[in-house]
Structure 1
């Protein structure tokens, strides 16, 4: 389990003990484009899912509001996403926040579920109530930047939430799983070509132009010492 606290725009804080963590995959709203992406990944040796969209259970302790992510090697990278946090049983207890699924790309060729369980799911400290943004959810803007210690930030992901299946899709499809304590990550959007994803720092934001409000997270990627033995 993991204990998180979310700050809401009205000044209240909502504590959540994460007991179930789910990572959606291949969750683009245009599933024809998803199928083409699956074929591209297969050429790189990444196994295709049995169905799309896919869903991967992740160890709950990997949900973190962290400023650093420990990794074992240099081929790991983030994925900008939204996260649905089920803080209680009522509709107003459904929270939306920004997230970054830090994934082991070496393990991904052996199994996507394995790669998702090899790194943290970093979540923002701020959140919105889903009921407050659901009527304009598709217009929310998801962006991610990467940087190395000796360089400036580069934009690596940039899309509206209309590109992804909406939280309501998962609430309908997985109603029995979305009990209080559940956190569900949305799956990600395409990375921009020519940007090195294996970076030292990641920053992700989810912006609501209608209110001027932004949710943000940022973290360093920290290489662990080499194993002995």
Structure 2
């Protein structure tokens, strides 16, 4: 089991043991655009999901607050996302934080679920209570940079299915309980930027307050195998 600790704006902390980790996929709010993206991926050999939006169970230990992700080769990359961290059994007891879903792109052509289980979901150390920002959720921006200051993703939470949608899914599946963490799915990458970078940084920003939450890490190549 993995324990995650989050610092809230008032300086208090919440620690939760992750029992269920879920990665949303193809979760753009404009599902027609999502379908167009699926068609593009199909041309690259990446299998289409049977249902959109999708939701992939991930090994709970892969929810990590780390500054290093160990990778097996050079074709892995992150994805800018937000995360819901469930503290109780109601929608009023949920944290929102930033996340970066590191994914094995070579494995993705065989199975999206396999590719997402090949590396951690990196989460921020800070969080907001979802109820505190619910009235302006779509205004919160989501931005990612690679290799320092190269912008690769830029959008807002309005580009993705809203937290209340996924809280409904969790409730239907009896997963709205302490220890569940759901990662949102990602926004489009800026064309022409090399996603196979050595480092990733993702930021959530609340324009109303200027407050930000970020996570950042380096991708470190493992030694070459023998045999």
Hey, what does 2:94 align to over in structure 1? 94
Question: For structure 2, which runs of at least 5 residues remain unmatched after alignment?
Answer: none
Hey, what does 1:153 align to over in structure 2? 149
Hey, what does 2:190 align to over in structure 1? 192
Deviation string for 1:40-87 (max 9, x for gaps)? 000000000001000000000000000000000000000000000002
Measure, in 2, the Cα distance between the counterparts of 1:178 and 1:22.
12
For residues 133-172 of structure 1, the aligned pairs below 5 Å read 133-147=133-147, 152-172=148-168
- 1:92 to partner: Cα distance: 4.1
Q: Is residue 50 of structure 2 the alignment partner of residue 50 of structure 1?
A: yes
Using the size of structure 1 for normalisation, the TM-score is: 0.97
Measure, in 2, the Cα distance between the counterparts of 1:179 and 1:89.
5
| Alignment RMSD | 0.8
Deviation string for 1:63-121 (max 9, x for gaps)? 00000000000000000000000022354420000000000000000000000000000
Measure, in 1, the Cα distance between the counterparts of 2:126 and 2:211.
10
Deviation string for 1:173-200 (max 9, x for gaps)? 2211221100000000000011000000
Hey, what does 2:211 align to over in structure 1? 213
Measure, in 1, the Cα distance between the counterparts of 2:88 and 2:9.
18
Hey, what does 1:222 align to over in structure 2? 220
Confirm or deny: 8 A CA contact 2:90 2:176 kept in the other structure: no
Q: Is residue 175 of structure 2 the alignment partner of residue 177 of structure 1?
A: yes
Greater displacement, 77-86 / 166-175:
166-175
Deviation string for 1:189-216 (max 9, x for gaps)? 0000110000001000000010110001
Measure, in 2, the Cα distance between the counterparts of 1:187 and 1:120.
14
Confirm or deny: 8 A CA contact 2:81 2:100 kept in the other structure: yes
Hey, what does 1:32 align to over in structure 2? 32
Measure, in 2, the Cα distance between the counterparts of 1:117 and 1:169.
24
Measure, in 2, the Cα distance between the counterparts of 1:87 and 1:200.
33
Using the size of structure 2 for normalisation, the TM-score is: 0.97
